[in-house]
């Protein structure tokens, strides 16, 4: 996994360790990071994104306790050889669900109709698929 695959938004209300954990969950679920693949060290991620190493460590520890990552002595953290869900569509949708719930909450707060949001989402998805 490349450290540049992580996108940290410091202005987000979501804690940075959760941002890291959620992104790694999605990368594993989508098969973009494969079982056995080593993750960048805590220090590498912290240095690249100018964040506290304890924040990265917290995210890695959380994913290890969930069985998504495993600690390899002398090598660091790697994707578990049998990650939960094995990349099934159901598992990938579960990984996406917290983000969708956040979008639903924000749409309600901003009083934006679902049809408008779905239209915007479709446009974004089409744009992402054309890249």
Give me the DSSP letters along 72-103: ETTTEEEE-SS-TTTT-HHHHHHHHHHHHHHH
What local confidence, expressed as pLDDT, does residue 3 receive? 65
**Domain boundaries along the sequence of the chain:** 3-79, 89-130
Q: Tens digits of per-residue pLDDT, 90-117?
A: 767 777 788 888 889 899 999 999 999 9
Q: Is the pTM of the predicted complex or chain greater than 0.75?
A: no
- Confidence (pLDDT) at 100: 86
Distance CA(52)–CA(54), nearest Å, equals 5
Q: What pLDDT was estimated at residue 85?
A: 57
Among the four given CATH numbers 1.10.10.10, 3.40.50.2000, 1.20.1440.130, 3.40.50.2300, the one describing domain 3-79: 1.10.10.10
């Amino acid at each position: 996994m490349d450290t540049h695959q992580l996108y940290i938004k410091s202005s987000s209300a979501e804690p940075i360790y959760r941002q890291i954990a959620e992104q790694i969950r999605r990368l594993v679920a989508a098969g973009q990071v494969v079982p056995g693949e080593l993750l960048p060290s805590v220090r590498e991620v912290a240095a690249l994104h100018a964040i506290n190493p304890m924040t990265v460590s917290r995210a890695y520890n959380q994913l290890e306790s969930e069985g998504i990552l495993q600690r390899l002595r002398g090598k660091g953290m790697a994707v578990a050889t049998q990650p939960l869900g094995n990349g099934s569509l159901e598992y990938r949708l579960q990984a996406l669900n917290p983000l969708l719930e956040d979008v639903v909450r924000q749409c309600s707060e901003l009083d934006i109709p679902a049809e408008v949001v779905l239209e915007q989402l479709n446009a974004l998805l089409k744009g992402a698929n054309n890249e």
